[in-house]
Amino acid sequence: MDTLVMENSAPAQAASPPDFLFTSGQGTISAYDLGQPITTPACEWSLLERQIARALAAAEAAGQANPLLIGAFAFDPADASCLYVPGRYERGVRTPAAERAAETNQVISVQSTPAAAEFKASVSSALNAFAQGHLAKVVLSRKLILTLHKPADPERVLARLMSQNPHAFHFSLPLGQDRRLLGASPELLLRVSGGEVFTHPLAGSAKRYGEPEQDRQVARDLLASRKDQ
């Protein structure tokens, strides 16, 4: 898996894009006035919990009836988090991404971590381990850093992601230091609505069949699988 980050004579004032955006089939959340992020690592949960509680209480004191916590945790719980309680947010209905004129942005260089040859060797090693029965599951990834001819436009990148994969869960989150996290994930960990909990994971899933007994057998196989639990 590769990981990457009309002109009129009197134009109307365009609406400012949200500082944070999350979209799904259930709607959108647009947030503004994010302020400074809470960066305490997830591994320091007691401190992080107190900071979140204070930020939510401050938003309530400022007049928000239902303050919202948004952001992202690092994959490594010892790395900095990036959480916000926005000064203002709106919920809405997702609309199709607007078509935008194609824009060229030349890639000057690509830096791979690990190096491309090392990553390919890891893939070959994993395939050999599978073939010999020594490996049941592996997640291989690499980071690509692209140097572009001119700065990337996050709005344009997100619009392209939404156009290419309209059924995904899309997000745009500022990380500070002129960095922004963009994504189009096929998975939803948890959603709570009306007292019900929904999840849409891809791991640990299997194809449905037309016959109830086949479905039941597939369900039993999943429950018995050490890999998919």
User: Tens of pLDDT along 136-183?
Assistant: 888 899 999 999 999 889 998 999 899 999 989 999 999 988 899 999
The dihedral sign for the CA sequence 87, 95, 27, 80: negative
Which pLDDT band, with edges at 50, 70 and 90, does 221 fall under? confident
Query: What's 166's DSSP letter?
Result: T
φ/ψ (deg, to 5) at 103 = -135, 130
DSSP helix/strand/coil, 142: strand
What are the CA-CA distances from residue 43 to residues 48, 73, 189, 224 (Å)? 9, 10, 20, 32
Could you give the CA distance from residue 61 to residue 194 in angstroms, rounded to a whole number? Answer: 26
- Decide: 115 and 48 in contact? Cβ < 8 Å: no
Query: What's 38's DSSP letter?
Result: B
- Decide: 89 and 30 in contact? Cβ < 8 Å: yes
- Decide: 56 and 25 in contact? Cβ < 8 Å: no
The per-residue pLDDT of the chain, averaged, comes to 86
Side-chain half-sphere CA neighbours of 72 within 13 A: 17
Nearest to 107 by CA among 157, 149, 57: 149
| pTM (predicted TM-score) | 0.73
Which pLDDT band, with edges at 50, 70 and 90, does 8 fall under? very low
User: Tens of pLDDT along 76-106?
Assistant: 999 999 999 999 999 998 776 665 666 778 9
User: Tens of pLDDT along 106-138?
Assistant: 999 999 999 999 999 999 999 999 999 998 888
The residue extents of the domains of the chain are: 2-101+152-187, 107-145, 188-229
The dihedral sign for the CA sequence 5, 178, 188, 92: negative
Percent of residues, the chain, with pLDDT higher than 70: 87
Helix (H) or strand (E) run with residue 224 in it: helix 212-224
